[in-house]
Chains A and B, each alone.
Chain A
Amino acid sequence: MARGQLPRWVDYVLLPALNLLAAFFVSGLVVVLIGEDPFEAVKWILYGALGYGEGIGYTLFYATNFIFTGLAVAVAFHAGLFNIGGEGQAYIGGLGIALACLALDHIVPWWVTLPFAILGGALFGAAWAFIPAWLQAKRGSHVVITTIMFNYIAANIMVYLLSNVMIPKGSMQPASRNFDVGGQLPWLRTIFPSFDLGQSPVNLALFIALIACVFVWVLIWRTKLGFEMRSLGANPTAAEYAGISPLRITIITMLISGGLAGLMGMNEVMGAQSKLLLDFTAGYGFVGIAVALMGRNHPVGIILASLLFGLLYQGGAELAFEIPSITRDMIVVIQAFVILFAGALEHLFRPAVVAFFNRFVTAKNGQETA
Chain B
Amino acid sequence: MYETIILILDSTVRLSVPLLFACLAGLYSERSGVVDIGLEGKMLGGAFAAGAAAYVTGSAWAGLGAAVIVSIMLALIHGFASITQRGNQVVTGVAINFLAAGLTILLGQAWFKQGGRTPQLEHSARFGEITLPFADSVKDVPYIGLLYSELISGHNILVYLSFLAVPFTWWVIFRTRFGLRLRAVGESPAAVDTAGISVTWLRYRAVIMCGVFTGFAGTYLAIGQSAGFIKDMSAGKGFIALAALIFAKWQPKNAMFACLLFGFLDAVAIRMQGQEIPGIGEVPVQIFQAMPYILTVILLAGFVGRAIPPKASGIPYVKERT
Contacts and interface: CB of A to CB of B under 8 A. Distances in A.
Contacts of B81: 340, 344-345
Contacts of B286: 156-157, 159-160
B305 interface: no
Given A325-B109, A327-B109, A347-B87, A339 B243 contact: no
A339 B105 CA distance: 19
Contacts of A4: 322
A152 B238 CA distance: 12
Given A330-B102, A344-B81, A345-B87, A149 B296 contact: yes
Interface in B293-322: 293-294, 296-297, 300-302, 309, 322
Nearest to A3: B322
A317 interface: no
B102 A343 contact: no
Contacts of A242: none
Tell me the dominant secondary structure on chain B's binding face. helix
Interface stretch (A8-16, A94-102, A137-145, A207-215): A137-145
B86 interface: yes
Interface residues of A, number: 49
Contacts of B86: 347
A205 interface: no
Contacts of B293: 149-150, 152-153
Contact of A289 (B91, B106, B300): B91
Contacts, number: 145
Interface residues of B, number: 48
A259 B95 CA distance: 25
Nearest to B239: A148
B37 A329 contact: no
B301 A329 contact: no
Contacts of B94: 84, 286, 289, 339, 343
A152 B239 contact: yes
A340 B77 contact: yes
Interface in A323-346: 325-327, 329-337, 339-340, 343-346
A346 B109 contact: no
Given A156-B289, A327-B109, A330-B106, A164 B99 contact: no
Contacts of A149: 239, 243, 293-294, 296-297, 300
A348 B301 contact: no
Nearest to A164: B284
A300 interface: no
B95 A329 contact: no
Interface in A131-169: 131, 135, 139-142, 144-146, 148-150, 152-153, 156-157, 159-160, 164
A170 interface: no
A30 interface: yes
Given A157-B286, A327-B109, A345-B87, A135 B102 contact: no
Contact of B105 (A141, A142, A286, A327): A327
B149 interface: no
A327 B106 contact: yes
B322 A145 contact: no
B278 to A, nearest CB: 20
A18 to B, nearest CB: 14
A185 interface: no
A293 interface: yes
B49 to A, nearest CB: 15
B99 A336 contact: yes
B124 interface: no
Contacts of A148: 37, 239, 242
16 contacts: A4-B322, A30-B103, A82-B88, A135-B300, A139-B301, A149-B297, A149-B300, A286-B98, A329-B109, A334-B102, A337-B99, A340-B99, A343-B91, A344-B89, A347-B85, A347-B86
Given A329-B102, A336-B99, 5 more contacts: A84-B94, A146-B297, A149-B243, A332-B102, A348-B85
Interface of A: 4, 30, 33-35, 82, 84, 131, 135, 139-142, 144-146, 148-150, 152-153, 156-157, 159-160, 164, 286, 289, 293, 325-327, 329-337, 339-340, 343-348
CB-based closest 3 A-B pairs: A332-B102, A336-B98, A344-B87
